[in-house]
Amino acid sequence: MSEIPIKPPQIPNLVIKQITWHVKLNEFIEEGHDLCTLICDVPESSSSLLSQIIHMPVYKTKTFKIKSTASGSLYVLNSAEEAQQTSILCKIRQKTLPNFSIGADSIDKCKHEMEFGGMCAFCGYRSNENEQADIEKLHCGVTGRNLKFNEDLAVALEHKKKQKLLKEKKLLLVLDLDHTLLHTIKGSSAKPNIHQINIDGIVFSTRLRPHLDFFLENLKDKYEFFVYTKGSRKYAHQMMKLIDPHKEYFGERLISQDDEPGESGKSLKILLPKDNTMVLILDDTHEVWPDSPNLVIADRFWYFYDELSDIDKKIMGENDHLLYFMKDLLANIHDSFYMQETADVKNILKQIQGNVLLGAKIAFSGMIPIDIQPEMHPLWQAAERYGAICQREVTEETTHLISDGSLTKKFKQAKRMNIPVLHRTWLSLSVSYWYWLPESQFTLENINNLDIRSLLPTSLMRQLSIGSPVPSKSHTSGESESDSDSDLIDSKSDSSSSSNKNMADCAREVNSTSIDSKENKQEKGAVKRANASQIPKPAKKVKFQDNSELKI
């Protein structure tokens, strides 16, 4: 393989003003093919009368037609400025037929710059497993599976990928399988809504996480999805058939244990060698991602697990809504990325995290064992990471008391001061959903009637209720209102395919509520105590209008 640079006409002091390309990048062209038209300023010979008079070179505008001097594919097309600086218009990668018989000679000539599964992708040379490769090759999994490149090539491909994403206004999203998108157990199960699969004669049962289709469908235009699992490739393939039977969301973008045997952790470097400003991760296991600021931790999805407390039953398994809320979060991150000039998803993630509970001042009662520093407790730390301020005592400013219900001094104090006393689920769920949940359902009095589904838009809820009936208390007057809303949307979108209609409705409904502004939060934190016999109303009224008022 050799590269032929195509140069502008060799005239001293030539100024390139404009290039009009007649070819495209990567196009294959033959020798003599028209490449471009150049408009240049050319200095006239110094002997001209005018230049002698003004003692300066006189320029004349000329047009040149440039033809290719080689056959091959175009891989650099320069703009007028670039061409002026580098004196190169474009580069052609000459294609030569490879020498099929791989003798020692051809191996010496090949630089083995690219590797596929331990073999040189150009000449097939197999680097010996025992001998260390002369130069460490880098993964660039966004290009393709099992491929490794020398550094220059990897960085160039990464850059190209980035340009393509920017053009398509997309980001990358790396998704874990087990406990993030689904739950699988060995053996069969009598639970509803499961898939049974057979791998090497062993039966497995899988339940896809609720809202998975909704999540993928609504984010597919904003993200390019990858699956990255520590499971075997065989298993992962079976799972992909369940998640994405038509390969419309993931294509071939799957990384499994077989791609990096012996590696216990996960690393974004298998996808992108250097740049992690446009990639996010959703995974339930943070231990496999040491120090990754790109990680959004997903609450673990358990379906085949019966020893749940009463509260857990209301928010886990069939009632798991994490992906629904993650869709909102990821859509928001995407949108703010493309609103900024030089954006980095890591900063956006951090910023959004610090805003989730901003304005909340939280005290704890009966939650933190007396023998540990309250500041070290996971709940305390989580709350502060998400923007809340935690307090050792109940004060005038306290907005929430998280309590186990025991009649402590703080409990009595909060009751007297009309500070909402909430079950810890409010905090842990707000943290895992990245969303300040409305408090009304989480008071110690109401927690046993918690119906997490009522936090979802009605149309989505109705869709979910197919197969398993929604508890009757969700059917309230609030629903008729949004019923008419979705009817309106339905009538407008007659042309859209019916199979996607429900999804699209939900998407519209959800998109209409954007993430809370900072002011909103602060306002919320400073709710006047005068009204404190009532629980502060959720700031996200639009979204929760179905339930919040009704439940109080």
Partner 1 sequence: MFFILSLKKNLKLTPEYLGKRINKHLANLLNSAVEGSFDTKFGYIVKVLKHEKIGEGKVQDSSGDVLFPLLYKALVFMPYKGEVVDAMVSQVMEVGFTATLGPMSMFVAAQNIAADYYLEPEARPHPRWVNKTDPSKTIQVGGDVRLRIMSVRVNGNEMMGVCEMSEAYLGPITV
Footprint (CB under 5 A) of Zn ion, residues 74-113: 110, 112
How open is the CA angle 349-401-297, to the nearest 5 degrees? 25
What's the CA gap between 149 and 142, in Å, rounded? 12
Q: Give min distance, CB of 143 to Zn ion, in A.
A: 18
In whole angstroms, what is the distance from residue 243 CA to residue 250 CA? 9
The binding site for partner 1 (CB under 8 A) comprises 1, 26-28, 71-73, 95, 97-98, 100, 102, 114, 116-126, 143-147, 157, 160, 200-201, 232-234, 251-252, 258, 261
Find tokens 């980001």 and name the residue.
Answer: 171
DSSP H or E run through 162: helix 151-168
533 SS3 class? coil
CB of 154 to Zn ion, least distance (A): 16
Residue 284 near which of Mg ion, Zn ion, partner 1, none (CB within 5-8 Å, type-dependent): Mg ion
Closest distance of CB 168 from Zn ion, Å: 33
The entry of Zn ion, Mg ion, partner 1, none that residue 112 binds, CB within 5 to 8 Å by partner kind: Zn ion
Query: Judged by CB under 5 A, which stretch of 172-180, 427-435, 508-516, 522-530 contacts Mg ion?
Result: 172-180
The HSE-up count of residue 425 (CA atoms within 13 Å, CB side) is 24
DSSP secondary structure letter of residue 104: H
Binding residues among 276-295 for Mg ion as defined by CB under 5 A: 284-285
Q: Is 107 left (phi over 0), alpha (psi -120 to 50) or beta?
A: alpha
Smallest separation (angstroms) from Mg ion to the CB of 231: 9
Q: What residues contact 282, with CB distance under 8 A and at least 6 apart? A: 173, 174, 175, 176, 180, 295, 296, 298, 326, 330
Output 68 or 229, the one with its CB closest to Mg ion: 229
Minimum Å distance from CB 109 to Zn ion? 8
Q: Choose between 128 and 498: whose C-beta lies nearer to partner 1.
A: 128
Candidate ranges 67-75, 119-127, 131-139, 284-292; the one touching Zn ion (CB under 5 A) = 119-127
Angstrom distances, CA of residue 417 to CA of 194, 363, 407: 48, 13, 15
Angle formed by the axes of helices 458-465 and 498-511, to 10°?
140
**Spatial separation of the C-alpha atoms in residues 515 and 333, rounded to whole Å:** 10
Specify the residue for token string 């939280």: 362
Q: C-beta of 232: minimal distance to partner 1 in Å?
A: 7
Helices 424-433 and 322-337 cross at an angle (nearest 10°) of 50
Q: At its nearest, how many Å lie between Mg ion and the CB of residue 301?
A: 9
Span of 61-69, 120-128, 176-184, 443-451 interacting with Zn ion by CB under 5 A: 120-128
Nearer to Mg ion, 182 or 345 (CB): 182
Return d(Cα 462, Cα 469) in angstroms, integer: 9
Hey, is 395 helix, strand or coil?
coil
If contact means CB under 5 to 8 A according to the sort of partner, which of partner 1, Mg ion, Zn ion, none does residue 251 touch?
A: partner 1
Q: Among residues 466, 458, 465, 508, which one has the least CA distance to residue 483?
A: 458
- Residue 122 touching Zn ion (CB under 5 A): yes
Only one of the segments 36-44, 108-116, 170-178, 330-338 lies at the binding site for Mg ion (rule: CB under 5 A); that segment is 170-178
Task: Please count the residues of this chain forming the interface with Zn ion, following the rule CB under 5 A.
Answer: 6
- Residue with CB nearest Mg ion? 178
Separation of alpha carbons 137 and 120, rounded Å: 11
How far apart are CB 240 and partner 1 at their closest, in Å?
A: 13
Q: Is 179 in the site for Mg ion (CB under 5 A)?
A: yes
| 125 binds Zn ion, rule: CB under 5 A | yes
Q: Taking the mean position of all CA atoms in its chain, how far away is CA 495?
A: 30
109 or 350: whose CB is closer to Zn ion? 109
Minimum gap (Å) between residue 358 Cβ and Mg ion: 30
Q: Which long-range contacts (CB under 8 A, 24 or more apart) does 10-15 make?
A: 11/40, 11/42, 11/43, 12/43, 13/43, 13/57, 14/40, 14/41, 14/42, 14/43, 15/40, 15/41, 15/42, 15/59, 15/84
Contact 476, 458 (CB under 8 A): no
> Hey, which residues does 161 pair with through a beta bridge?
none
| Residue closer to partner 1, measured from CB, 225 or 435 | 225
3-state secondary structure of 29: strand
120 binds Zn ion (CB under 5 A): yes
| CB-nearer residue toward partner 1: 251 or 293 | 251
The string of DSSP letters for 204-231 reads: EEEEEPTTHHHHHHHHTTTEEEEEE-SS
Among 158, 178, 224, 328, interactor with Mg ion by CB under 5 A: 178
Q: Closer to partner 1 at the Cβ: 227 or 456?
A: 227
Closest to Mg ion by CB, 91 or 211: 211
Instruction: Please report whether residue 232 would count as binding Mg ion according to CB under 5 A.
Output: no
- Supply the minimum distance, in Å, between the C-beta of residue 215 and Zn ion: 42
Q: Which stretch binds Mg ion (CB under 5 A): 177-185, 262-270, 378-386, 529-537?
A: 177-185
The sign of the torsion formed by the CA atoms of 387, 391, 392, 394 equals negative
Residue 114 touches which of Mg ion, Zn ion, partner 1, none (CB < 5 to 8 A by kind)? partner 1
Min CB(270)–Mg ion separation in Å: 16
Contact partner at residue 305 from Zn ion, partner 1, Mg ion, none, CB < 5 to 8 Å by partner kind: none
Are the CB atoms for 220 and 510 separated by under 8 Å?
no
Q: Which is nearer to partner 1, 129 or 393 (CB)?
A: 129
505 binds, among Mg ion, Zn ion, partner 1, none (CB under 5 to 8 A by kind): none
Question: Which residues of the chain form contacts with Mg ion (CB under 5 A)?
Answer: 176, 178-179, 284-285
Question: Which residues of the chain form contacts with Zn ion (CB under 5 A)?
Answer: 110, 112, 120, 122-123, 125
